[in-house]
Amino acid sequence: MSAWSDGYNADIAYTHGAYRELAPGYLSYVCLLNGIRPPRADRPFRYCELGCGQGMTLNILAATHPQGRFVGIDFNPLHIAGARRLAEEAELPNVAFHERSFQQVAADGLPAEDAGDGFDFIALHGVYSWISPENRRAVVDILERMLKPGGLVYLSYNSQPGWAPLMPLQKLILAHAAANPARSDRQFDAALGFLNRLNEAGAGYFAVNGAAGQHLDMMAKQDRRYLSHEYLNSHWEPLGHAQVATDLARAKLGYAGSATIPQNFDDLAVRAELRPILAEIADPTLAETVRDFAVNQVFRRDVFVRGPEPMPPAETEAALKRLRFTLLVPREDASLAVPVPLGELRHDPSLGLPILDALAAGAPSLGEIAAMPEMARHDFGTLSRFLALLVSSNQAHPLVEPSEEGRAAAGRLNRAIARRMGLDEALFYLAAPVVGQGVAADSLDRLVLAGLLTGDRNGPPDSQVPDVQALGGFVADTLKSFGRSVLAEDGSPITDPAAMRDRLAVVLPDLLDRKLPAWRRTGML
């Protein structure tokens, strides 16, 4: 492992993920749900991502928020070079990427044109519990020095107590890798094979720890680039919320809530028998720690604010009522059953169906939804929480009211990503300017989107109907180049290019009928 990586795995690049929890609109919404005043993102603001990886999230945010100035920091030159290339290809003038360690930034700062008078938002996804204590201190130094009063920090991390039974797995994976030098993804495969042999041979650890065997099965299906970065780090350490809150208190940061929306509602996350125990706890940090024990938390998505200001309830309600929402999924795919920590919550059709219909037809505000005749018997809190759970389940999202400049920038970025989708199977996210974040597409959808965004596959000029034959040819040729197939009606794979095109000619019209309205609602097309 290179000395410059300071114990962090750096020999292969991280995945091209885009994470909605980092979006300013989403983070502001989480603050409002918790009655905390968020930073303003409807006017010029500054945003920094520490540990930006491939820069996909940051490039999408820069494209969809032209009023913001975005800065990405990562110590891996492979990540920074790729992030810069994508930003340059999309002609994004409001994003900069710097190859620097956290300790360098803490000591030397950033160029004045990037740092300005401080940041309104600073985000760290999957960083804090993977780095050394010295680097964690450097992160807090950066927050103390560079975050504005009232500024927001998003920080996600592996947490205790959920990781406790699985920590020995990571230690053994790391030890096996150290004893068998190779490229890190190959080291991980070798270590996983070794662990499976131990499990199959009846090792006592696996015999008494069913979660460990289940975890092996889950890892076998995951992206090796993600797994290598997750497990092959010398300083990997799941953290308790109290430790993180204590660390960040040095930068005058207070906890504002969880970016995992259902975690903010005890009746959705904590068993009824445990809620009276929580109610007895006056100290908020201890209460949050006990919640983690109640749900056996494995991963936290914390939102902190430098000087969290509680909003009066009437002001909070007014701010929520002004928010406009739209549906991210086809109307027929939207569900009244949403996952929550305690299981699945099924909503009353008299509440949910009119709201889903309104979201599919336009972009109503929460105030307009509350004024619908069908909502007369539902109180505002019930309506607000239903919308929040639709957002949590990736079915809806607040709008950011994109400018023409934002739509144009998102279009340039999406075309740049689409060109790469024809060459790289690992790209699944495109910019959705209407909601100000990246939206994922599955294997077939992403190639359909790539085909619509590149080349002449949109039918005649001014046509709203794509050229299905040309689109099917593009998708079939791309799948063939990846060594992939199309599924026949009976589920068997089709690999012959001509037969793939014939099958796609049957499949694509229905897919486009269902998906195009949602893609256009979000501004992806």
Element (DSSP H or E) covering residue 515: helix 497-521
379 contact partners, CB below 8 Å, separation of at least 6 = none
Which pLDDT value is given to residue 338? 96
pTM for the complete prediction? 0.93
Q: Which residues contact 243 (CB under 8 A, 6 or more apart)?
A: none
Low-confidence ranges of the chain (pLDDT < 70): 1-14, 456-464
Query: Hey, where are the domains in the chain?
Result: 3-161+238-306, 164-231, 324-395, 404-521
- pLDDT confidence of residue 442: 86
Give me the pLDDT at residue 462, please: 45
- The secondary structure of the chain in percent helix, strand, coil, rounded to multiples of 5, reads 50, 15, 35
Three state DSSP letters for 371-419: CCHHHCCCCHHHHHHHHHHHHHCCCEEECCCCCHHHHHHHHHHHHHHHH
Q: For residue 343, how many other CB atoms are within 10 A of its CB?
A: 9
| Closest to 65 in 3D by CA, of 432, 498, 456 | 432
Cα separation, 66 vs 297, whole angstroms: 36
CB 292 within 8 A of CB 241: yes
Provide the pLDDT for residue 227. Answer: 86
The predicted-structure confidence for 85-129, as pLDDT tens digits, reads as follows 999 999 999 999 999 999 999 999 999 999 999 999 999 999 999
Tokens of 149: 């009063």
Cα 428 to Cα 410: distance, rounded to the nearest angstrom: 15
Cα 332-333-334 angle, rounded to 5 deg: 95
Res 226: pLDDT: 85
Write out the CATH class of domain 3-161+238-306. Answer: alpha beta
Task: Name which of 435, 417, 434 is nearest 426 in CA terms.
Answer: 417
Q: What is the 3-state secondary structure (H, E, C) of 99-141?
A: ECCHHHHHHHCCCHHHHCCCEEEEEECCCHHHCCHHHHHHHHH
Closest CA to 255 of 291, 293, 294, 295: 291
Output the pLDDT for position 15.
74
